[in-house]
Structure 1
Amino acid sequence: MDNLRQWIEEALEQYGCRLYELEWLPDEPTAILRVSVEKPGGTVDLDVCTLCSDAISAMLDEKDWNDKEYMLEVCSPGAERELKTYEQIEGALHSYVYVKLKDPKKGIDQVFGDLIEVSPDHIVVAYKVKGRPKKAEIDMENISLIMTAVKL
């Protein structure tokens, strides 16, 4: 899978995209190779997905990656997506996020706000309570779930 990841990352570079997530789903009726792509700034439309899909498909054919039947699915990770790795959290810096805590602190068990700081140990989320600006510093070990969110 490591070679596959590297090959896909190289194929995406020409379109200014990066690999968000790579999933191999062999237990589906027809196996699926799902490639989620993103651009810095977050905009990925159908045209970008099509270009990336064509590039990845051509590369996979050239590398003769898999001799069994499978479907290639290239998609955007979506506006509201779970951030599963440190790199994904770091990539969401300055984005609006939802964070659910394992152990509530100061009566807070979840927070919606702007991700303003990321370090290996903690994150800082800026949010408002009754119009007043607040900041929550959350230890990485205390995060049950973190995802990008749509600000309404």
Structure 2
Amino acid sequence: MDDLKQWVEPILAENGCRLYALEWLTNEKPPLLRISIEKLDGPVDLDTCAICSDAIGTMLDAKDWYASEYNLEVCSPGAEHELTTDEQIQAAIGSYVYVKLKDPKQGMDHVFGDLISANTELIVISYNVKGRKKKFEIDRSNLALIMTAVKV
């Protein structure tokens, strides 16, 4: 999988994307290589997936990566997806997110808002209360879940 990641990332970068997740699903018949991508400058569309899929498929065929039949799927992780790595959290700065806390803070066990900043110790969310902006600082150790969200 490390080789795959190293081969795929430059192709995605050439197409204005970054890798979100790489999955090798051997329980599928034939096995499925699922590559979830994020676009650097907006939402992933079908054309972007197709372009990246063609480029990655050509590269994998040239490297003769897998000797048997398999399916390749290049897709978006979706509008609402969990942020599981520091890199994903950093990439989401400025985005609207949902955060669930392990232990409530200031009477709140979750918050929706804009991710303002994040480091290894703390994340900062800007949220609205009765039309007023407030900041909410959360210790990373208190995060149960952080994911992108869609404003309603």
TM interval, shorter chain, is over 0.9
Output the CA distance in 2 between the equivalents of 1:68 and 1:100: 42
- Secondary structure at the aligned position of 2:42 is classed as coil
- Deviations 1:4-23, CA, capped at 9 Å, x for gaps: 10100122222111111111
Shift of 1:70: 1.3
Structure 2 match to 1:30: 30
Structure 2 length-normalised TM: 0.96
Corresponding position of 1:144: 144
Range with bigger deviation, 28-37 or 51-60: 28-37
* 1:43 matched to 2:76: no
Letter in 2 for 1:11: I
Is contact 2:24-2:31 (8 Å) kept? yes
Aligned partner of residue 57 in structure 1, secondary structure: helix
Q: Report the CA distance between 1:51 and its aligned residue.
A: 0.4
Please give the residue correspondences for 1:1-152 in structure 2 after superposition, counting only pairs within 5 Å: 1-152=1-152
- Aligned mates of 1:26, 1:141 — CA distance in 2: 34
Q: Deviations over 1:31-71 (max 9, x none)?
A: 11100111113321111100000000000001111112211
Using the TM superposition, give the Cα deviation of residue 120 of structure 1 relative to its aligned residue in structure 2, in angstroms. Answer: 1.1
Deviations 1:71-92 (Å, cap 9, x if unpaired)?
Answer: 1000011111111111000000
TM norm structure 1: 0.96
Residues 124 and 135 of structure 2 are in contact (CA less than 8 Å); yes or no, is this contact kept in structure 1?
A: yes
**CA distance in 2 between partners of 1:95 and 1:13 (Å):** 21
> What is the CA RMSD across the aligned residues, in angstroms?
1.0
For structure 1, list consecutive stretches of 5 or more residues without a partner in the other structure.
none
Q: 2: CA distance between counterparts of 1:51 and 1:110?
A: 38
- CA offset at residue 126 of structure 1? 0.4
What amino acid is the match of 2:118? V
Superposed structure 1 runs of 4+ greater than 4 Å apart: none
Ranges in structure 2 where 5+ consecutive residues have no aligned partner: none
Please list the CA deviations of residues 91-142 of structure 1 after superposition, one character each: whole Å capped at 9, or x if unmatched.
0000000000011111100000000011111100000112222111011111
